[in-house]
Structure 1
Amino acid sequence: MRKWLAGVMLVACLVSPAMAADQVPSDASLHQLLDALHTRAQVDGVLAKAAERIHSGVLAGLGNTTPDAAQWKMLQEGERRMVELLKRELTWEQVEPIYLDVYRKRFSQQEVNDMIAFYKSPSGQALLIKMPLATQDATQMEAEKMRSLQPELTKIGQETISQLKAYTASKSGAPAPDSMAAHD
């Protein structure tokens, strides 16, 4: 009987990870994952950035116009109402079920378990902290590279336009435009 029970336990242990790979993750494990990912803080950060963008948008919408005191008060009230709407409709209590639903649909229990283990580790926490900064640095460096390439890209574009104009002129029998006209 003991051998049979040990055999059943062994099979259960071997099958259990395979079954976890197909199981829908539990709410408890999804909550652990969201905590490990600092998702609530990220949502709060998105709200703060949205408020900043609303303010910037209001200022950009003014252009060169300087509102008088009454107009400024109306703009501030509109901005306040927009921010309050976001804060009311995008609370963690309203957003968390969305995350739970999405993660439940996209990840198995085993994947969630593995992510929890990773993101709770020092390396996982470092990734959460450093990856946004690394992405920001890479984006900035790519933008600088594109700026350095811009003169050459412009030159190639101008040469291509000149070639197209010359070709079109030769097809129609008209004289080819001079090099000055090609740069207009």
Structure 2
Amino acid sequence: MPKLPSITARALLRLLLALALVASAPTFAAEPTDADIDRLLKASRAESLLAGVVPQMEAVQQQEFDKHFAGREMTDEQKAEVARIQAKTQEIVRTALSWEEMRPVYLDVYKKTYTREDVRAITKFYESAAGQRMLDKNPALMQNIMSAVQQKMVPMLEALQAEIRNIPVTPPPPVSPPQKRRRTR
């Protein structure tokens, strides 16, 4: 049996230190600069995608207002107050989701999530013809995914509803009125 070289404590310590440095390499990776992230955000059309969210949010708010006040009789004064609140709510959403408000959030989150190398590689992809085609086709992709999910979910929900309908429901036992207490003196 061949004799294995002995590992000294010093050599073992060096090996462990080298492994620790390799394992912690992502910690030492360069943080992306604001310019790196801005280039990525431009290439990925982040600002226009964010701007597209605002009308969707406003539509959801409108539905919620309509649902909340459906069938309620309101005076002209009350209707005006609801309209004022609606307009104020929309303005709050527009301000909160404005690029001026959201850009610092994007910068912070991207810095916490990606290294400079990651950001540059992702940017390179989005700036490529394939990346731009992907961005062009993403809305259709998402619509197709939603349709596929709905087609998959409808039969499952119908089966679940049928199962719920088959649960035997027994009425609760009748509750007798409380008995009067006799006063004892």
Structure 2 length as normaliser, TM-score? 0.67
Match of 1:127, as an amino acid? M
Q: 2:65 aligned with 1:86, yes or no? A: no
1:43-80 deviations in Å (ceiling 9; x for gaps): 21222222222221111111222433222111110001
Q: 2:145 aligned with 1:138, yes or no? A: yes
Match of 1:47 in 2: 54
Q: Determine the C-alpha separation between the residues in 2 that align with 1:42 and 1:85.
A: 19
**Shift of residue 136 of structure 1?**
2.3
Residues 95, 101 of structure 2: 8 Å contact kept: no
Q: 2:92 aligned with 1:70, yes or no? A: no
Q: Determine the C-alpha separation between the residues in 1 that align with 2:42 and 2:77.
A: 45
Structure 2 residue corresponding to 1:36, chosen from 26, 43, 54: 43
Match of 1:177 in 2: none
Q: Determine the C-alpha separation between the residues in 2 that align with 1:115 and 1:139.
A: 26
1:57-116 deviations in Å (ceiling 9; x for gaps): 111111222433222111110001111122233321121011011111111111111111
Q: 1:151/1:87 Cα in 2 relative to 1: closer, same or farther (>3 Å)?
A: closer
Higher helix fraction (1 or 2): 1
Bigger Rg over Cα: 2
Structure 2 residue corresponding to 1:125, chosen from 132, 142, 146: 132
Q: Determine the C-alpha separation between the residues in 2 that align with 1:51 and 1:98.
A: 21
Match of 1:74, as an amino acid? E
The answer for unaligned runs of 5 or more in structure 2 is 1-24, 171-185
Provide the aligned C-alpha RMSD in A: 2.5
The answer for unaligned runs of 5 or more in structure 1 is 1-17, 166-184
Q: 1:147/1:89 Cα in 2 relative to 1: closer, same or farther (>3 Å)?
A: closer
Q: Determine the C-alpha separation between the residues in 2 that align with 1:77 and 1:156.
A: 46
Secondary structure at the aligned position of 2:63 is classed as: helix
Structure 1 length as normaliser, TM-score? 0.68
